[in-house]
Amino acid sequence: MNDGMPAATKNATMTKADIVERIYEKVGFSKKEASEVVESIFEIIKSRLEHGDKVKISGFGNFVVNQKRPRKGRNPQTGEEIIITGRKVLTFKASQVLKKTINPS
Amino acid sequence: MTTNPTPGGGSMTKRDLIDEVVKIYPRFSGRDAEVIVNAVFDSMTEALARGERIEIRGFGSFVVKHRQAREGRNPKTGAVVPVAAKRVPFFKVGKELKLRVDGKPVPESEREASQGA
């Protein structure tokens, strides 16, 4: 699939360290301070999601916890019928702004 | 598929997140916290726009998937309309957060603190 993206950036991965670098450059904290605050931001989000809250980041997207009901499934190896227990799962819905930004026209 | 929002769940906005940051770091002004929180999500948006993956340990990863151009239909009129190729962002929840959201204990090996950055 050729979408005109330079090959060099195609497989690059951004990590927390790269975000920390950005904060460090932009805000002028020490690296340690920038790293701490980035860590805190993700921890705040995680603990809210853990409590079943929605997290809505305007311009980026919404993180929502959904309750799944138990359902019947099958062990694909043995064909044995099993009950898949109910569980809570996290889904992310990208905002229109994010979708537009990654699809420049 | 049965997906319903968790009953009784509240919600947090970016504004609330900024306020929480100020609570934890009283030395930051609201404006500082706003700049920081925006910088986090702006840098993530820019990475995705460059076609990069994002991996936040303990949280999850974001990837951009490519959807090829296809012929769609206007559901009202049945007319065939071309749908252009596009890039779609996807999130995959990390192990630690997946367990935490489901109320399960997180094994030591999946705690992000034990894995470094």
Residues B84 and B63 in one domain: yes
Residues B58 and B113 in one domain: yes
Q: State pTM to two decimals.
A: 0.84
Query: CA torsion sign, A58 to B49 to A35 to A90?
Result: positive
Inter-chain touch A88–B51, beta carbons under 8 Å:
no
Closest residue in A to B97 (Cα) is A46
Domain harbouring B63, CATH code: 4.10.520.10
Contact A60, A95 (CB under 8 A): yes
A1, A16, A65 ranked by CB distance to B6: nearest: A65
CA distances from A55 to A2, A98, B88 (A): 35, 16, 20
Residues B63 and B116 in one domain: yes
Q: How far apart are CA B91 and CA B62, in angstroms?
A: 4
Residues B35 and B20 in one domain: yes
Contact A52, B9 (CB under 8 A): yes
Residues B66 and B103 in one domain: yes
Residues B46 and B57 in one domain: no
A96 touches chain B (CB under 8 A): no
A61 touches chain B (CB under 8 A): yes
ipTM greater than cut 0.90:
no
Residues B67 and B44 in one domain: no
**pLDDT computed for residue A10 by the predictor:** 53
Confidence category of residue B117, pLDDT binned at 50, 70, 90: very low
Residues B38 and B4 in one domain: yes
Domain count of the fold of chain B: 2
Query: Coil, strand or helix: which one is A39?
Result: helix
Tokens of B50: 């460059």
B2, B37, B87 ranked by CB distance to A68: nearest: B2
Residues B31 and B61 in one domain: no
- Which candidate, A53, A50, A72, places its Cα nearest to that of B104? A50
Question: Would you give the DSSP letter of residue B80?
Answer: E
Mean pLDDT lowest among B56-60, B71-75, B108-112: B108-112
Residues B35 and B64 in one domain: no
Q: Which domain holds residue B101?
A: 53-73+80-117
Residues B107 and B87 in one domain: yes
Query: Coil, strand or helix: which one is A40?
Result: helix
